[in-house]
DNA sequence: GTACCTGCAAAGCGTTTGCTAATTC
DNA sequence: GAATTAGCAAACGCTTTGCAGGTAC
């Protein structure tokens, strides 16, 4: 996701109108590395825009995705997550608290000899484990901050 | 997934009962590398067991998963997929026809210096591109065999 | 003024659950 | 005979859609 100013320009250039709701969603996403779900965004933005509807959130996210300004991310647990970071990267998913972190480590593209005739466009890597907080907390057995859905 | 005989033994050993429905689901999964959804399994097995219900399919799959006999796989597109292949491997997902293939190529585990304090348990890699059939068919522009859900 | 957009509600899809009757052991 | 399991249906969570009125341009 670009900085707000440039993003607004880009959207206008793409023919879309700048409503307060969209601007608020843009602002919420900007620099947000928590990989929020549509529901997360909805709840947060609604605090300042009480009339906001979830459908608008989905619409806006879909548009931003088509513009290539946000990534969509499915780490299981039901809801899709949205990621303003569009540079190529991977994700670390904590299986205890459900938190998702960006991972910018370089990953060599796999040996493709195993896939004769296929054309590989992209590689998505998901690391699963315990995040810093949770692996530290393991000893004291405190409950998770945001438990991941059971499946 | 183990061969049928051993699997039945294993399940009995784990205290579960061997109903015809379960046996049929086992047989359908055995050696099935198409990564079927619960619905796929349901439709196929119901042909021989007309009374079968979708809930039973989910129950059986959940049990098999807990026994470590099938993997669960979420490549987007809505439905979860089930994979009788439990050896460590990765997946290639065709973005045109939605087909999912197993990839046994060795993939180097990413450099974990970028995640200080985290404990990484497993790595899931998903390759996205065009499968053999679809990249061959690209020229002739035939419709996809099983279009992937739009998101 | 016009096209796009919002909000609402309802539908859609995949999945889970509660209950009763049937079955496996 | 006892406890697990199947089937059914209804509920659930996330997402999409149809249509009204409202709003940015």
A–B interface: beta-carbon pairs under 8 A: 126
Evaluate if pTM is beyond 0.85: yes
Cα separation, A54 vs A79, whole angstroms: 13
Q: Is-contact B75 B151, C-beta < 8 A?
A: no
* Sites in chain A below the pLDDT cut of 70: 107-114, 139-151
Whether residue B150 has pLDDT greater than 50: no
pLDDT at B24: 97
Tell me which nucleotides of strand D come within 7 A of a protein CB: 4-10, 13-18, 23-25
Find, in chain B, the residue whose alpha carbon is nearest to that of A80.
B76
Cα separation, B115 vs A134, whole angstroms: 13
Cα separation, A94 vs A75, whole angstroms: 10
pLDDT at A150: 41
pLDDT at B111: 54
Whether residue B57 has pLDDT greater than 90: yes
Q: Is-contact A131 A75, C-beta < 8 A?
A: no
Cα separation, B1 vs A23, whole angstroms: 50
Q: Is B123 in contact with A118 (Cβ distance < 8 A)?
A: no
pLDDT at B108: 62
Whether residue B109 has pLDDT greater than 70: no
Whether residue B26 has pLDDT greater than 90: yes
Give the pLDDT mean for B11-28.
95
Q: Which residues in chain B are closer than 8 Å to A92, comparing Cβ atoms?
A: 115, 118, 120
Q: Which residues in chain A are closer than 8 Å to B148, comparing Cβ atoms?
A: none
| Torsion sign across C-alpha atoms B46, B50, B55, B61 | negative
Which pLDDT band holds residue B1 (cuts at 50, 70, 90)? confident
Output Rg (C-alpha) for chain B, integer angstroms. Answer: 18
Distance, C-alpha A5 to centroid of its chain? 21
């Amino acid at each position: 996701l670009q900085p707000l100013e440039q993003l607004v320009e880009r959207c206008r250039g793409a023919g879309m109108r700048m409503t307060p709701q969209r601007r608020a969603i843009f602002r919420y996403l900007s620099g947000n590395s928590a990989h929020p779900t549509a529901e997360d965004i909805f709840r947060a933005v609604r605090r300042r825009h009480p009339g906001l509807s979830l459908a608008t959130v989905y619409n806006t996210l879909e548009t931003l995705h088509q513009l290539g300004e946000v990534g969509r991310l499915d780490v299981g647990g039901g809801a899709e997550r949205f990621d303003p970071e569009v540079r190529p990267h991977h994700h670390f998913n904590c299986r205890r608290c459900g938190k998702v972190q960006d991972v910018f480590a370089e990953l060599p593209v796999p040996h493709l000899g195993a896939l004769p005739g296929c054309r590989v466009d992209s590689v998505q890597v998901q690391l699963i484990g315990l995040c810093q907080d949770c692996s530290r907390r393991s000893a004291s057995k405190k409950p998770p901050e945001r438990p991941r859905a059971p499946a």
